[in-house]
Amino acid sequence: MAGARMRPKDEHDYLFKVVLIGDSGVGKSNLMSRFTQNEFCLESKPTIGVELATRTLQVEGRLIKAQMWNTSGQERYRAITSAYFRGAVGAVLVYDVSNPSTFDNLARWLKDLRDCTDPCIRIMLVGNKTDLKHLRAVTTEDAQGYAEKEMLSYIETSALDASNVDALFQKIDEYDYLFKVVLIGDSGVGKSNLLSRFTRNEFCLESKSTIGVEFATRTLQVEGRVIKAQIWDTAGQERYRAITSAYYRGALGAVLVYDVSKPSTFDNIARWLKELRDHADPNIRIMLIGNKTDLKHLRAVATEDAQGYAEKEELSYIETSALDATNVEAAFQMILGDIYRTISKKPISGLEEANGKTNGVKEGKTIDVSAAEGDGTKKSCCST
């Protein structure tokens, strides 16, 4: 057509590496072939090592080249598999709805994945082979419950009849970044109400102490990017400190909360900060929040004292009221913006580094896998 610009055949706006993982026989190869070639093979054999295929498609007006890596589910290839997590920005964790053992093994696969990948990786849990209705052994409710507990997206598919296969790969690109943020501090400082005010715009006057950990999510725009924020409310009660420390893993941000009307909660900040720095990534972004500013007549911690402490410890600082919503939105926008600016300045893996890329998850047009791995020294990130 006269005047129309024709794209080169291989031009694309983004290239995404996505790995399919899970036990042998769950249908990973057929999911990949259905998505990339619209083919299904009834006699497909177990994958040996790793195979890959690509498909270019439109997602929200952008031309995306999806590079799908099908990693072996057989035990003897687990060491090979772990090396291929490198550079992945998405992962599809697959089980067979008719085979409960493949569902039971998800926890092990998920641990491998989280041990070896960037904390911003997007993970989708997929229950495959829904065409086997008469043989279903894993309920949708059980899988959804597991996905919610582990903060995964969830969908059910059939590679045989193509149900939801395209939807699966469209869904994995629903947001630009996934950020885990933990709320920590003494019991009763208002962490749960900060969480509910930010994620649901709710406040409960009769909220009870959190037992262990609870979480909620909210998707929002931060500096022009779609951010899915996973906010984890970790228990402030002393007997749950051991539980809390385990949940720092993978956190990109932390909100350290005290009650402006209770000086003991401010005095304990140093202990919480030490625990945070002992267990979390050294690059974690930390915000100090003085909550319950609505209790003006009961204020016992001066703003100046808290600001001075925050400056000394190199923390950002804001005061909030979960009750009347003062500064709650601003606080989370600040911490998420701080995380985004930090993440977007660093490569997500050695692949981008090898190609001179120094930006974030969705920036940059090409990941040259052959160049990054061309030295023949393949190392598992999980190797000891």
SS (H, E, C) 141-154: HHHHHHHHHCCCEE
pLDDT tens track for 195-241:
999 999 999 887 666 555 577 888 888 887 888 888 988 765 555 55
pLDDT tens track for 40-56:
988 766 666 667 888 88
- Other CB atoms within a 10 A radius of the CB of residue 58 amount to 10
Residue 75 has pLDDT above 90, yes or no: no
Top-confidence range, 24-28, 126-130, 218-222, 360-364: 126-130
Please identify which residue in the block is written with the tokens 């939801």.
Answer: 164
Greater model confidence, 145 or 97? 97
Task: Report the pLDDT value the prediction gives residue 164, as an integer from 0 to 100.
Answer: 93
Greater model confidence, 105 or 380? 105
| 298 SS3 class | helix
| 229 phi/psi in degrees, rounded to 5 | -95, 125
Query: Is beta strand 122-128 parallel, antiparallel or unpaired with respect to 213-222?
Result: unpaired
The pTM for the full model equals: 0.58
| DSSP string across 239-295 | GGHHHHHHTTTT-SEEEEEEETT-HHHHHTHHHHHHHHHHHS-TT-EEEEEEE-TT-
pLDDT tens track for 155-201:
999 999 999 998 887 776 667 777 889 999 998 999 999 999 999 99
d(CA 257, CA 194): 10
Long-range contacts of 325-328 (CB under 8 A, 24+ apart): 325/197, 325/201, 325/203, 326/293, 326/294, 327/293, 328/194, 328/197, 328/198
- Other CB atoms within a 10 A radius of the CB of residue 94 amount to 27
Task: Report the pLDDT value the prediction gives residue 361, as an integer from 0 to 100.
Answer: 37
Closest CA to 198 of 9, 39, 41, 329: 329
How confident is the model over 341-366, as a mean pLDDT?
A: 45
Q: Which residues contact 320 (CB under 8 A, 6 or more apart)?
A: 194, 289, 290, 291, 293, 326, 327, 328, 331
Please identify which residue in the block is written with the tokens 């385990």.
Answer: 246
Two tokens, residue 169: 């790969």
Task: Report the pLDDT value the prediction gives residue 348, as an integer from 0 to 100.
Answer: 40
d(CA 236, CA 260): 16
Please identify which residue in the block is written with the tokens 């009769």.
Answer: 206
Half-sphere exposure in the Cβ direction for 244 (13 Å, CA): 23
Average per-residue pLDDT for the chain: 80
Greater model confidence, 13 or 245? 13
d(CA 282, CA 272): 15
How confident is the model over 5-12, as a mean pLDDT?
A: 54
Q: Lowest-confidence range among 18-22, 46-50, 56-60, 107-111?
A: 46-50
Q: Domains, the chain, ranges and CATH?
A: 14-171 (3.40.50.300), 177-342 (3.40.50.300)
Please identify which residue in the block is written with the tokens 């491998």.
Answer: 112
- Whole-angstrom CA distances from 338 to 75, 142, 286, 312, 362 are 40, 36, 9, 18, 17
Give the whole-number percent of the chain exceeding pLDDT 70: 74
How confident is the model over 374-381, as a mean pLDDT?
A: 38
| 172 SS3 class | coil
Two tokens, residue 84: 């291929």
Tell me how long the chain is: 384
